[in-house]
Amino acid sequence: MPGFDIDGARRWARFDPGHTLARRNDSALPFASAEDVAGQALLLDTCVYIDQMQGRAPDLVEQLVDTRHVNHSIIAVQELVHTLGVARPEDGRTTSVIGAVRAQILAMPDHRVFTPDADVLGRAALLAGMLCRLQGYAQDAKFKALQDCTLFLQAQKLGFTVLTRNIVEFDFLLQFVPTGRALFYRTASLRAK
């Protein structure tokens, strides 16, 4: 397949720990703070858009988005558009959801929207497979793992930091690939988790 070296990917996968991963303590994780407002360019996880649309994004997230260069992945766009497909036409909220998702996508400048290449897609599939095997993910979690792995490796390749509240999965990814970068946050309703 052009752009993807399967033998190189297997060599790259040498970080397979061979055992189930445990979520690390918050003190070991890169949580966003006021000192992090300025810094490396961001790639937004889908949860950031959802939190913004629902008015749940903390002030710190809004400051990060307003201050840093913000980039968007087709992976997040795909997840947002998927929401439209599963929305029930008879539900009264569907029209407002469509409008909010449409506004989010149209606000993304073309020069800041990135599509993962074959190398990222291939390595993400390998990483997601290992993660699913080690963590015993059920069928419904496998697709989400693939999306998270793709976003994470895309950010790494482009030199971006993933902004996310998806703490557990991205902690696992940081344990697999310590050279990747993520910055975590919690919404007010998720502070205790």
Say if 3 falls within a structural domain: no
Predicted pLDDT at 105: 93
Nearest to 133 by CA among 122, 123, 145, 121: 145
Say if 88 falls within a structural domain: yes
Structural domains in the chain (count): 1
Say if 76 falls within a structural domain: yes
Q: Tell me the average pLDDT across 26-45.
A: 86
| Sequence-separated (6 or more) residues with CB below 8 Å from residue 140 | none
Predicted pLDDT at 121: 93
Say if 154 falls within a structural domain: yes
Pair 156, 15: CB distance under 8 Å: no
Q: How many residues does the chain have?
A: 193
Say if 119 falls within a structural domain: yes
The chain-wide mean pLDDT, for the chain, equals 86
Say yes or no to pLDDT of 19 above 70: no
Which domain CATH number covers 67? 3.40.50.1010
Torsional sign, CA 48, 52, 58, 63: positive
Which structural domain range is residue 69 located in?
38-187
Say if 111 falls within a structural domain: yes
Torsional sign, CA 101, 104, 107, 112: negative
Pair 128, 144: CB distance under 8 Å: no
Specify the pTM. Answer: 0.85
Say yes or no to pLDDT of 193 above 50: no
Asked which of 54-58, 113-117, 135-139, 154-158 is least confident by mean pLDDT, the reply is 135-139
Predicted pLDDT at 157: 95
pLDDT in tens, 135-192: 888 877 888 899 999 999 999 999 999 999 999 999 999 998 889 999 999 987 654 4
Say if 29 falls within a structural domain: no
